[in-house]
Structure 1
Amino acid sequence: MSALQTARLPRETRDVLFLLAVVALCLAPLIAHIPAWASALAALLLGWRGLLAWRARPLPGRWLRSLLLVVVLVLTLAQFRTIVGYEAGVTLIAMLLALKTLELRARRDAMAVFFLGFFTLIANFFFSQSLPTALVMLAALLGLLTALVNAHLPVGHPPLAESLRTAARMTLLGAPVMVALFLFFPRIAPLWGLPSDMATGRSGLSAQMRVGSVAQLALDDGIALRVRFLTPGGQPPPQSALYFRGPVLTAFDGREWLALSQPEARAITWAQPAPAQLQVQGEAVPHEVTLEPSYHPWLLVLDAAEQPPALPDGWRAQMTPELQWLASRPVTSVLRYQASSHLRFRHGPREDTRALRPYLQLPAALNPRTQALAHELRPDGTAPQAFVQAALARLRGGGYRYTLEPGVYGEHTADDFWFDRKEGFCEHIASAFAVLMRAGGVPARIVTGYQGGQVNGVDGYWTVRQSDAHAWTEVWLEGSGWVRVDPTASVSPDRIGLPQRLQAPRGAFGNAMSTVVSPSALLRLRAVWEAVNNRWNQWVLNYTQQDQLGLLRRLGLEAPGWQDLVRVLGGLAALAAALGGAWTVWQRQRQDPWQRLLARARGRLAQAGLELPAHLPPRALAERAQAHFGTQAQPAAQWLLRLERARYAPQPALTLAQLRRQLPRLRWPKPPSRQR
Structure 2
Amino acid sequence: MSRGGGIPRISLTWLLVAQVLVILPHLGHLPLWIVALWLGCAGWRIQIFRMRAGYPNAWAKAGLMLAAVLGVLMSRGSLIGLDAGVVLLIAAFVLKLVEMRTRRDALVLIFLGFFTVVTAYLFDDSMLMALFSLLPVTALLAAMIGLQQSSLATQPWPTLRLAGGLLLQALPLMLLLFVFFPRLGPLWALPVPSDKSTSGLADSMTPADIAELSRSPELAFRASFAGPTPDRSELYWRALTLEHFDGRRWSQSNFTQQAAAPSWSKRGEVLRYSVVMQPSSQRWLFALDVAETSLEQTQQMSDFRLQRRLPVERSLIYQVSSWPEALREPQQVAGGLNRTLQLPAQGEPRSRAWAAELKRQHAQPEQLVQALLEHFNREPFHYTLRPPPLGQNNIDDFLFDTRSGFCAHYAGAMTFVLRAAGIPARVVAGYQGGEYNPAGNYVQVRQFDAHAWVEYWQAGRGWVSVDPTFQVAPERIEMGLEEALAGEQSFLEGSPLSPLRYRQLSWLNQLRMGWDNLNYGWQRWVLGYQSAQQLAFLQRWLGRIDGQSLALSLVGGGALLLGLLALWLFKPWQRERDVQRRIFRRFERLLARHGLSRLPGEGPRAYAERAAQALPAQASAIRAFAAAFEAQRYAGQAHSLAQLRGHLKTLRRALPWRLTRVQP
Interval of TM-score (by shorter of Structure 1 and Structure 2): 0.7 to 0.9
1:663-674 equivalences in 2 (<5 Å): 663=642
**2:303 paired with 1:310:** no
1:571-590 equivalences in 2 (<5 Å): 571-579=556-564, 586-587=571-572, 590=575
Deviation at 1:448, TM superposition (A): 0.9
- Gap regions ≥5 residues in structure 2: 1-6, 484-490, 589-593, 599-603, 651-664
Find the partner of 2:508 among 522, 527, 537: 522
**SS across alignment from 1:482:** strand
Per the alignment, residue 674 of structure 1 pairs with none
Higher alpha-carbon deviation: 143-152 or 395-404: 143-152
Per the alignment, residue 123 of structure 1 pairs with 119
Deviation at 1:59, TM superposition (A): 6.1
Find the partner of 1:47 among 25, 30, 39: 39
Per the alignment, residue 229 of structure 1 pairs with 225
1:31-430 equivalences in 2 (<5 Å): 31-34=27-30, 38=31, 40-51=32-43, 58=53, 61-62=56-57, 63-103=59-99, 107-152=103-148, 154=150, 158-187=154-183, 194-197=189-192, 199=194, 201-212=197-208, 219-231=215-227, 235-261=228-254, 276-305=262-291, 308-311=292-295, 315-350=296-331, 353-379=334-360, 382-430=363-411
Deviation at 1:278, TM superposition (A): 1.3
Contact 2:11 2:142 (8 Å CA) reproduced: no
Aligned counterparts of 1:549 and 1:103: Cα–Cα separation in 2 = 47
**2:12 paired with 1:24:** no
Q: How many residues align?
A: 620
Question: How high is the TM-score relative to the length of structure 2?
Answer: 0.82
- Gap regions ≥5 residues in structure 1: 1-10, 267-271, 603-611, 647-651, 672-676
Contact 1:275 1:348 (8 Å CA) reproduced: no
Deviation at 1:597, TM superposition (A): 3.3
Per the alignment, residue 548 of structure 1 pairs with 534
**2:493 paired with 1:505:** yes
Per the alignment, residue 460 of structure 2 pairs with 479
Alignment CA distance shift 1:504-1:536 (3 Å):
same
- The one-letter amino acid paired with 1:310 is S
Deviation at 1:653, TM superposition (A): 4.4
Aligned counterparts of 2:420 and 2:480: Cα–Cα separation in 1 = 35
RMSD: 4.0
1:9-31 Cα offsets, whole Å, 9 max, x none, are xx978865653343122112222
- The one-letter amino acid paired with 2:198 is R
Per the alignment, residue 554 of structure 2 pairs with 569
Per the alignment, residue 496 of structure 1 pairs with 477
Deviation at 1:576, TM superposition (A): 3.8
Alignment CA distance shift 1:659-1:376 (3 Å):
farther
Higher alpha-carbon deviation: 121-130 or 584-593: 584-593
Contact 2:14 2:140 (8 Å CA) reproduced: no
Per the alignment, residue 659 of structure 2 pairs with none
Per the alignment, residue 544 of structure 2 pairs with 559
Aligned counterparts of 1:13 and 1:361: Cα–Cα separation in 2 = 75
Deviation at 1:181, TM superposition (A): 0.6
Find the partner of 2:446 among 461, 465, 490: 465
**SS across alignment from 1:338:** strand
Alignment CA distance shift 1:376-1:106 (3 Å):
same
1:264-289 Cα offsets, whole Å, 9 max, x none, are x99xxxxx899622123221111121
- The one-letter amino acid paired with 1:505 is E
- The one-letter amino acid paired with 1:526 is R
Alignment CA distance shift 1:431-1:631 (3 Å):
closer
**SS across alignment from 2:293:** coil
Higher alpha-carbon deviation: 119-128 or 558-567: 558-567
Contact 2:10 2:156 (8 Å CA) reproduced: no
Contact 1:249 1:447 (8 Å CA) reproduced: yes
Deviation at 1:291, TM superposition (A): 1.6
Aligned counterparts of 2:617 and 2:21: Cα–Cα separation in 1 = 56
**SS across alignment from 1:283:** coil
1:82-110 Cα offsets, whole Å, 9 max, x none, are 42332221110112223333445554443
Alignment CA distance shift 1:614-1:477 (3 Å):
same
Higher alpha-carbon deviation: 154-163 or 249-258: 154-163
Contact 1:216 1:404 (8 Å CA) reproduced: no
Aligned counterparts of 2:523 and 2:285: Cα–Cα separation in 1 = 17
- The one-letter amino acid paired with 1:641 is E
Deviation at 1:501, TM superposition (A): 4.3
Contact 2:100 2:106 (8 Å CA) reproduced: yes
Per the alignment, residue 4 of structure 1 pairs with none
1:374-428 Cα offsets, whole Å, 9 max, x none, are 1232227632222212222221222221111225533322122112322222112
Alignment CA distance shift 1:507-1:15 (3 Å):
farther
Aligned counterparts of 1:512 and 1:670: Cα–Cα separation in 2 = 70
Aligned counterparts of 1:382 and 1:276: Cα–Cα separation in 2 = 28
